[in-house]
Amino acid sequence: MHGNPASIRLARSAVCEAAERGSLSSVLLEACPTRWDRTLAMQPEGSIMRRLFDNEMQAASEAAESYGVAVQLVDQAVEITVPRLRSLSLLTLRQLLTPWAGGWKHISDDYRRGLARLQSADGIGMADLLEDGLVRNTPLTLLRSPVVLALIAFTSLVVAAVGWPDEATMAALMDDLAAVVTQALGIALLQMLLLGRVALVGLLEERDVILAQSIRRACQGEHEREVVVVLGAAHVNGVRRLLLQS
């Protein structure tokens, strides 16, 4: 879980333990140069922003560098991913509007295949995602989200400008908020139905292939050596399945 303290500890300890065994060849990160450069520019090592937005990618990278181990960025370039997501969105919209031409079947096939790839009998399962450390640290993980922080900052500015509302005003605001949240949830559900196929194919399936190919290349010739790969949980089962195939 990106930004979760339990995941950060896991990434750091996996790197350090392999390095201490003397078998660590390299550390691979689910990042591309553009995203990685942006991250380092916004939150360089030792900065306040780095401490506020602690994450498993930088934790693993810093641990690797402390042992003199090479770090590789192995994700698909964001310059490829973003246009691909746009084209998939347009394709999905067109297929939603043309069910008689097999559009709905194409979408349902992608959903079925994508959801199946997320599951694995001997990979990461729901029990792993509900592991105590991840669950306990989820509130902190959400607070590290730029969207949540922006909402908190906006609310603070409004309260500072107009003052804290009285009881009657607060009750009216809560009623309005409940209506807005209900509408937002409905829109979010619609977006999930419409954009789920885009995420399953463009954000996961296609990037899984790139990640698996990169891992294969990094492991070639590394007999009795270890490679640590830091991935989001949604990629693990798909990448694992590809690596176990010929």
Number of DSSP helices (H) and strands (E) in the chain, helices first: 13, 3
Q: How many CB atoms lie within 10 A of CB 175?
A: 10
* Rounded-to-10 torsion of CA 82, 86, 89, 94: -160
Strands 24-29 and 226-230: parallel
Write down the pLDDT at residue 27.
Answer: 96
Alpha-carbon span 32 to 53, nearest angstrom: 19
Low-confidence ranges of the chain (pLDDT < 50): none
Domain ranges of the chain: 5-138+183-244
Residues 45 and 91 sit within 8 Å (Cβ to Cβ)? no
82: number of Cβ within 10 Å? 10
For the chain, state the CA radius of gyration.
21
pLDDT score at 3: 83
Judge contact between 228 and 28, C-beta under 8 A. Answer: yes
Q: Could you report how far apart the first and last alpha carbons of the chain are, in Å?
A: 29
Instruction: Return the pLDDT at 143.
Output: 63
Reduce the DSSP state of residue 73 to 3 states and report it.
strand
DSSP label of 121: S
- Specify the 3-state DSSP secondary structure of 126: helix
According to DSSP, the residues that pair with 230 across neighbouring strands are 29
The residue assigned the tokens 């939603």 is 96
What are 153-205's pLDDT values in tens digits? Answer: 666 666 566 565 666 666 666 666 666 666 666 655 655 666 788 888 888 88
Q: How far apart are CA 185 and CA 205, in angstroms?
A: 26
Q: What is the pLDDT of residue 20?
A: 94
Predicted pLDDT at 165: 60
What percentage of the chain's residues is helix, strand, coil (to nearest 5)?
70, 5, 20
